[in-house]
Amino acid sequence: MTSTDNGIATGKALTVTLEDVSFSYGEASFRFNTEFAAGRIAAIMGPSGSGKSTLLNLIAGFERPDTGKVLIGGIDLGNVPPSARPVSMVFQENNLFAHLTVEANVGLGRSPSLKLGDADRAAVAEALARVGLAGKEKRLPRELSGGERQRVALARVLLRARPVLLLDEPFASLGPALREDMLDLLAGIHAERKMTVLFVTHQPEDARRIGQDVAFLDEGRIAATGPADDFFDRSGPDAFRRYIGDRGGTVAGSQHIARKRT
């Protein structure tokens, strides 16, 4: 199996643990104490301002906890800078540098100084092919559609091969059909790589389609966690059912069909 340059083996999925983490940002304060199981896709849901992005930023290292620890695979990440963490992150937008080609944008995942050998270029091409962008190496981001840009970001995730993948509403600006395609692509990548995926979304359909677990955040805390199936049952937590409205119960029947591909 390959390993990233910080020596963390990527072959094995890793748990993500937040141990009594507290964090404050201006007026808002957050408190997280939870664990995300290795190799599973967790959908992170909750109202705006409930701390979904903050949770991801803490794990990625963009923010540091005031107190408590963030552990991945049992190792305390302390002051490890974002790029040295066993983590890749995909944002809603600005995942690509607008002036660099698709190939260079993906290649940055292999070498941050963009020194790419032939083997690296081949790996980039392979990753691009996997996300359905074969032959678009020389394009600039502005020549791509919104969906294609996020595919490029996923190709870079493939190349970096980190055991944890964080996605912060990555498909929020895409239309419904495109979003489903992207979710399936993500599920496919997960099936191959078995990384631990944390996936922030506002859409219950997204969570139902690929989410195996759900973590529901409310007012800076994790209000409920559990398998996705339980959440979308009528027995799901009340706060969560209020958040997603009536749809939770009524469409529950379709979830098994929708999730079959995972």
**Which residues contact other proteins (rule: CB under 8 A)?**
25-27, 60-64, 79, 81-84, 87-89, 91, 94-95, 97-100, 104, 108-109, 112-114, 156
| CB nearer other proteins, residue 156 or residue 208 | 156
DSSP three-state, residue 218: strand
Six-digit token string for 103: 């190939």
Nearest approach, Cβ of residue 121 and other proteins (Å): 16
194 within 8 A of 3, measured Cβ to Cβ:
no
164 within 8 A of 136, measured Cβ to Cβ:
no
Show Cβ contacts of residue 72 under 8 Å, excluding neighbours closer than 6 positions.
14, 15, 16, 17, 59, 85, 86, 87, 163, 164
Nearest approach, Cβ of residue 216 and other proteins (Å): 25
DSSP three-state, residue 235: coil
| CB nearer other proteins, residue 98 or residue 191 | 98
Nearest approach, Cβ of residue 41 and other proteins (Å): 20
| CB nearer other proteins, residue 72 or residue 89 | 89
Instruction: Say how many C-beta atoms besides its own lie within 10 A of residue 212's C-beta.
Output: 19
The DSSP H or E segment spanning 47 is: none
| CB nearer other proteins, residue 64 or residue 256 | 64
89 within 8 A of 166, measured Cβ to Cβ:
yes
- Give me the amino acid identity at 2: T
- Give me the amino acid identity at 85: R
Six-digit token string for 182: 């992207």
Nearest approach, Cβ of residue 180 and other proteins (Å): 26
Nearest approach, Cβ of residue 224 and other proteins (Å): 28
| CB nearer other proteins, residue 26 or residue 135 | 26
- Nearest-angstrom CA–CA distance, 127 and 131: 7
Nearest approach, Cβ of residue 147 and other proteins (Å): 19
| CB nearer other proteins, residue 97 or residue 254 | 97
* Distances in whole angstroms, Cα of residue 173 to Cα of each of 2, 42, 45, 145, 182: 33, 20, 17, 11, 12
Nearest approach, Cβ of residue 52 and other proteins (Å): 16
| CB nearer other proteins, residue 70 or residue 224 | 70
